[in-house]
Structure 1
């Protein structure tokens, strides 16, 4: 099914480039300079053909000052993590799967493949499974993510196993990436943001 570009905001109209406030323009410029090259290199869309922001970024334009701080947190989380790229990515995909966030899964199915996760593994993660092809650390990260996201608690046995494997810093890094992507999924689902063609 083809989604017309004007519908890519879901419940939110796409913000036109000619109507940006100063704060929105600052956010827009940041996204174009920092996020757009990354998305283009990966192969997923964050803009329409005429340059309007889609995905979570259209929603971010409604609160540009908050969004700039959010993106600073996201940058710090990614830059200073102790997690491997693959562990971090399986956490993100597991969060997106629990939230059934279409756009999040669209973008991170593409990114997960860049970290060596096969389409079959990503599909299984998206369906809530813990694929055998994952390393032990990756499986553990998925179990932690699913238990916290679904039950809002981490039982003592799983916590001890996670503490032994990741340490307090690694557990804090899992918390940070989960917090970041649950926030994004909430925004995407609240406004029913669809995936582009």
Structure 2
């Protein structure tokens, strides 16, 4: 049972409505979900509904997520694999369902998805996977298990990912770590987005 109400779009405060409208018109709107991150009743889903509790914090938080998903230099498949590793590590159903769907669209294979769901880094990658996958997942796993790289290992990761890549992957881990924990704390379940979700 969820621990947070699903906000009715008709009863939102002015601040909540501004965040709601931002989410309904921003980069998360795509042909597969033309209404954005909402259920069949127009209510925000996943982490976005809980953000309405505090739009002053929820707004900047969702904008960070949008920047990481739509503006970073991280390869799309690599980004989704990192997110799915986090979802597996925290057993986060909402992240698992949403990002496995995205991963499949991007061509991530079922074996890779199953490995990430067990919170494990794949021993090999699907054909066409960007070369940054192995170091990105290594960095993510080290952060999740609190085994940060020593100086030599950090320099190697920096050589492989670039300083911007290390920063962006570490930010991606921090953002989805926060979401996974919030989603689990509020006992949020995957939503029904209707056909074509």
Q: What TM-score do you get using the length of structure 2 for normalisation?
A: 0.84
**1:147-183: per-residue Cα shift (whole Å, max 9, x none)?**
1111252344542331120121110010121122112
Look up the match of 1:3: none
**1:118-164: per-residue Cα shift (whole Å, max 9, x none)?**
12211111112222125553122112111111125234454233112
Look up the match of 1:47: 38
Look up the match of 1:13: 5
Structure 1 residue ranges without an equivalent (≥5) = 1-6
Q: What's the RMSD between the two structures over aligned residues?
A: 2.2
Secondary structure at the residue paired with 1:37?
coil
State whether residues 12 and 191 of structure 1, in contact with CA within 8 Å, keep that contact through their aligned partners in structure 2: yes
Q: 1:153 aligns with which of 144, 148, 155?
A: 148
The aligned length equals 187
Q: Distance in 2 between matches of 1:81 and 1:24?
A: 27
State whether residues 42 and 111 of structure 1, in contact with CA within 8 Å, keep that contact through their aligned partners in structure 2: no
Look up the match of 1:139: 134
- Per the TM alignment, residue 63 of structure 1 is displaced from its structure 2 partner at its CA by 0.9
Following TM superposition, the consecutive aligned residue runs of length 4 or more in structure 1 with deviations greater than 6 angstroms are none
State whether residues 46 and 188 of structure 2, in contact with CA within 8 Å, keep that contact through their aligned partners in structure 1: yes
Q: What TM-score do you get using the length of structure 1 for normalisation?
A: 0.84
Q: Distance in 1 between matches of 2:68 and 2:191?
A: 27
Per mean C-alpha deviation after superposition, the further-off stretch among 167-176 and 78-87 is 78-87
Q: Could you say which structure has the higher helix fraction?
A: 1
